Amino acid sequence: MTPRLKIRNLCHSYDGRRVVDDVNLEVLPGQVTCLLGPSGCGKSTALRLVAGVETQDRGEICVDGSLVCNGVTSMPPEQRQIGLMFQDFALFPHLTVEQNVGFGLNGTGGQRVRELLDRVEMTRHATSFPHELSGGEQQRVALVRALAPDPKIMLMDEPFSGLDNRLRDDIRDQTLEILREQGTAVLLVTHEPDEAMRMADQIALMREGRIVQKGAPLELFTSPVDRGAAAFFSDINILKGKVESGQVMTRFGPFGAENLSETSEAEVIVRPQHVRLDFDRNGKGPAATPTEGTAVRAEVVRARLMGSESIVEFSLDPDRAAFKASVAGVFLPKPGVPMWLMVRRDKCFVFENGDTVVN
C-alpha cells in the first residue's frame, strides 16, 4: 500500500538550533500516527512543515507518492490536499456553522456541508455562530470543516486539549470513527501518552527533534528502547545494581543482563503496576519464585487514591529510596505499616547507564 504521507530525512533549524532532526515517517490511508513527546521536542514544527506553513531546511515530503516539498521547491499549502485542525479550532467568528464548514468549497458544497453536519449531529446549529456553541460543538464543526474538501491527510495539533475529560473521550472516539470511515491518513501531535495510546495505530516518540522509537502502541509500552521511553508512558521505579556473571544484582534478586559488560553499572526499571504487595504477618516474607524473585520488606510512606487505583509509596532501606506500587481499587494502608514487596521480573526492563535496553 502506497503511503499517503511519506517524510524522508526532514530537518529544520531555528537560530542555528536543530529542532527537527532527520525525521523519517510514513502514514498509510486510514492510519492514525501520533507524534508524541514533551513540549519543545519538535513535533509541532514537524507538523507545520508537512502543512507547508514552514519550509524545511532539508528532506522531502511526499503525498500519495508525489513530491510536495524538498526544501528547494515547495507546493503551496492549499494545493497539498491536507486538512488542518488546531487546539483553538480557529473557526471564523463572523460566519455561521454552515458557512464555516463550506468555506473551503467556494460555495459549491451545499450537499456536502449538509451531509457532514448531519454526520456529527450539528444540523440544527447550521445557522448558529461559533460563540453560541459549546467547546465540544465547536470541535465538531472544526472537524467537518477540515474534512469538507476531502483531504487525503489530516494534521491535528493537540485538538482535544481544551475539552474536559469526559467530553474529550466521546469527541475523540467520534473523530476517529469518521476519519477511518473516509480512509484519511492522520498525523496527530500530542504530549499526552494516554491520548496517543487510545488513538494511534502507530506512535512516533520524539525527543530533542528526533524520533527515538516508533511502532504500535503495545510495542512502545512493552519494549521501550531506553529509560526515557519507559518513563514517558508511566511512572517507573529504578533499581540500581552491578552486573555480575551476566546478571544485575539487586535487593529483589538477580535480573538477566547477558549483553552487558561484567561489573558495569545498570538499572532495572519496574512499573508500579508490576509490584505485588503482601502484609508482614510473621516477620518472614514470601518465598522467592522465578517469576517474582526475592521479597523485600519496606514501610509505607504514604498512600493515595487516584480514582480506579491506589498508589502506595514505600521507603526502601538502607538508602530510603522511594518505591511505588499501583493497586486496583481502594487500598490505603497507613504510614509506617510494614509490607513485603515483590516485582514481576518478566515485566521489567534492564538498561545500561539508563539508555541501552537489554531485556
Per residue in 269-326, pLDDT (tens digit) is 999 999 999 988 777 778 878 888 889 999 999 999 999 999 999 988 666 668 999 9
Cell numbers at 207, concatenated: 525527543
pLDDT of residue 137 exceeding 50, the answer is yes
- Beta bridge partners of residue 341, listed in sequence order: 277, 296
Q: What is the mean pLDDT of the chain?
A: 89
Per residue in 325-339, pLDDT (tens digit) is 999 999 999 999 999
Asked if 200 and 188 touch (Cβ cutoff 8 Å), the reply is: yes
pLDDT band at 358 (very low <50, low <70, confident <90, very high): very low
Asked if 36 and 225 touch (Cβ cutoff 8 Å), the reply is: no
Distance (Å) of CA 204 to CA 15, 212, 218: 25, 8, 13
Per residue in 206-222, pLDDT (tens digit) is 999 999 999 999 999 99
Residue 60 has a pLDDT of 96
The SS3 assignment for 149 reads coil
Q: What is the DSSP letter of 200?
A: -
pLDDT band at 357 (very low <50, low <70, confident <90, very high): very low
Q: What are phi and psi of 172, to 5 degrees?
A: -60, -45
Q: Which amino acid is at 175?
A: T
Lowest mean pLDDT among 64-68, 249-253, 257-261: 257-261
Per residue in 95-121, pLDDT (tens digit) is 999 999 988 776 556 888 988 899 888
Q: b/e per residue, 187-214, with b = 16+ CB within 10 A?
A: bbbbbebebbbbbbbbbbbbbebebbbb
- Beta bridge partners of residue 329, listed in sequence order: none
Asked if 332 and 302 touch (Cβ cutoff 8 Å), the reply is: no
Residue 105 has a pLDDT of 79
Length of the chain: 359
Per residue in 180-197, pLDDT (tens digit) is 888 899 999 999 999 999
Pick from 222, 187, 182: which is nearest to 201 by CA?
A: 187
d(CA 23, CA 209): 8
Q: How many Cβ atoms are within 10 Å of 100's Cβ, its own excluded?
A: 24
